[in-house]
Chain A
Amino acid sequence: MYAVEISDLTKSFKTAVREPGLRGSLTALFSPKYRTVEAVRNVSFRLGEGEILAFIGPNGAGKSTTIKILTGILFPSAGEAQVLGMTPWKERQKLAYRIGSVFGQKPQLWYHLPPLDTFNLFSKIYELEDKAYRKSLDYLIEAFDIKDLLSVPVRKLSLGQRMKCEIAASLLHRPRIIFLDEPTIGLDVVAKQQIRDTIRHLHDSEGITVFLTSHDAGDIESLCKRVIIINHGQVLYDDRVSALKRRYMTKKAISVRFAEKIEGQFTMDGVEVLKASEYGVKLQFQTDVTPVEKVIEQLMVSHSVVDITVQDPPMEEIIRSIYEKPPDAAGEESSPGEAE
């Protein structure tokens, strides 16, 4: 059995079209116009149990809509979906016991109360036995390192601390699949890495299936083996992350700040200078030609560096390069959906 299996899934919304300004408002009042937006179009894929899938795409690509259909909140306009062998929108309540979900932009913890109160509530809602709940709670406290946060009102937690508790709350009932919708959004680098490590740890020790959406390429690289890219509601790419990296994420950018003024023009072999000022440069290079370590090493040797940031190309750029070099033409693609 697959953890998730969907075929030809389509969801369209009818939205009112309204011109800006007073005239637009009046026109909309007397003769409203509607436009049908297809948020998801004929999406099909399968996800095996225990896989970690990155489901990525730019804003408005249809990621959240797909998650909402798979968790049973939205009815699709057409197509089929099975999650753990159940049709989500028909068996939402039954399915709810076996899946967990985290929406990074929405809080689920009671804002004025400590996280432990929400955890206790969820143990009742998910009808957990006391012993099972204790065990699950102890495990998550250790995995997420949240012992000291449990009795602090949520409003006093930092975003990173809160997010750890949000995810822990969604795992108390030991779901078989967890849907993580932008779990690292707005977090700093350290908090992001902590969340990633914990998700990885949970996956390795519990075999939980992870369905992750993000537009942070870092999440995908450090967590997932398989990636599906969706754009304008359609699947654009479905393959291993390593293939994506090899083929499309070949560029990296480095921003450096120096302690002293640079004398003359800044140059380096195999590296393109995007921007240069007196105390810093922004560089771009092909990682297959010039590895990151080499660029950093050279920078360190030749200058005294104050600050350095390595960036992946933005999602939009990766998508653009997929359109330019479609994966079908590559001939090196493993068949989608079969990646372990």
Chain B
Amino acid sequence: MKGVRAFVGKYLAIAVINFQSSTAYSGEVVMRSIMITVILYVLVHLWKAAYGASGSTVIAGLTIRDTLWYLVLTETLILSKSAFSTRISDEVRDGSLAYTILRPYNYIVYHMSYSLGDSLVKLVMNFAAGGLVVLILEGPPEHFTLSSLPFLIVSILLALVLDFCFEGLIGLCAFVLEDVSSLQLIYNKILFILGGMLIPIDFFPRWLAALSKALPFNLILYGPATIFVKGDIGAAAGVLVMQSLWILVMAGILFALYSRTMKYLSINGG
């Protein structure tokens, strides 16, 4: 029991200290959330024009208000998610890996806690700022139900963990390649399209929608955003199950690769 407490305490302490660190300057915290208000302001006008041109109030089962709240969620997630791969590659490049890898914890779990501490602050700030824009310009979400809230929160956390696994796989390449910005760029573009960040997957042509739903990337953005705008508990439970399964698979690959790539590690500087 004591062992478990020490184990949890360790990773919790890491999340807490990074939470403290990223809220060290209150001004900066506020400035960071301005980005999302600009993006959503533009998106509101863009989608108003799109819905106006189509002449219908509902496209693929989503009203304009649904679509905009969907985008609040996906933008919040994409702006709050961890940049784990960038951090690993920075650590390899500046040599600070010598410290972070040398402590009695699991390096991957350490970084996951580290990321969560930072992401949770950003999630709250970005959602508040982005939500405010849509609330003022369009009104509150229509189909959101309070009973789906626990599902939503869990699915957001699982989305962050699943994204973290992909970021981690890219990051491990930094042990060998040093610079992984190109891989990260590709991954981000995949999230933009196949993850459903820019356009809800329901709007895609049938073949592309099928492809997107077969791949795990939709579970990072489209999954939680759909729970939020549709409030369908049955569908929400399905999302959680799929997220958990994919996390098991991807985390398995990540941990297995981590212990192998350690052998190729070389650290710069000093």
A contacts, CB < 8 Å to B: 13, 64, 68, 71-75, 92-94, 96-97, 101, 103, 105-108, 110-113, 117-118, 120-121, 124-127, 153, 181-182
The 5 closest A-B pairs by CB, nearest first: A124-B13, A64-B270, A112-B24, A96-B104, A127-B6
CB of A113 within 8 A of CB of B98, answer: no
CB of A74 within 8 A of CB of B267, answer: yes
Known contacts A13-B266, A73-B267; is-contact A106 B95 (Cβ 8 Å) = yes
Residues on A with beta carbons closer than 8 Å to the beta carbon of B207: none
CB of B267 within 8 A of CB of A124, answer: no
> Which residues of chain B (173-212) have a CB below 8 Å from chain A?
none
CB of B95 within 8 A of CB of A74, answer: no
Known contacts A106-B270, A113-B17, A121-B13; is-contact A72 B24 (Cβ 8 Å) = no
Known contacts A75-B262, A125-B10, A126-B104; is-contact A113 B20 (Cβ 8 Å) = yes
- Is B263 part of the binding interface, using a Cβ–Cβ cutoff of 8 Å? yes
**What is the bound-complex CA distance between A256 and B94, given in angstroms?**
39
**What is the bound-complex CA distance between A121 and B101, given in angstroms?**
15
CB of A106 within 8 A of CB of B101, answer: no
Known contacts A74-B266, A124-B9, A181-B270; is-contact A110 B17 (Cβ 8 Å) = yes
Q: Which of B13, B94, B96, B263 contacts A75, CB < 8 Å?
A: B263
Q: Which of B21, B98, B101, B103 contacts A125, CB < 8 Å?
A: B103
B contacts, CB < 8 Å to A: 6, 9-10, 12-14, 17, 20-21, 24-25, 94-99, 101-105, 262-263, 265-267, 269-270
CB of B17 within 8 A of CB of A117, answer: yes
**What is the bound-complex CA distance between A110 and B17, given in angstroms?**
9
Q: Which of A105, A106, A117, A125 contacts B20, CB < 8 Å?
A: A117
Shortest Cβ distance from B186 into chain A, in angstroms?
A: 19
Residues on B with beta carbons closer than 8 Å to the beta carbon of A127: 6, 10, 104
Shortest Cβ distance from A95 into chain B, in angstroms?
A: 9
**What is the bound-complex CA distance between A107 and B98, given in angstroms?**
10
Shortest Cβ distance from B162 into chain A, in angstroms?
A: 26
**What is the bound-complex CA distance between A97 and B103, given in angstroms?**
8
**What is the bound-complex CA distance between A117 and B24, given in angstroms?**
12
Shortest Cβ distance from B231 into chain A, in angstroms?
A: 39
Shortest Cβ distance from A61 into chain B, in angstroms?
A: 12
Shortest Cβ distance from B132 into chain A, in angstroms?
A: 28
**What is the bound-complex CA distance between A128 and B13, given in angstroms?**
13
CB of A112 within 8 A of CB of B21, answer: yes
CB of A73 within 8 A of CB of B101, answer: yes
**What is the bound-complex CA distance between A111 and B20, given in angstroms?**
11
Residues on A with beta carbons closer than 8 Å to the beta carbon of B94: 106
Known A-B contacts: A107-B96, A182-B270. Give 11 more (CB < 8 A): A75-B262, A96-B104, A103-B98, A103-B270, A108-B96, A111-B21, A112-B24, A112-B25, A113-B21, A125-B13, A126-B103
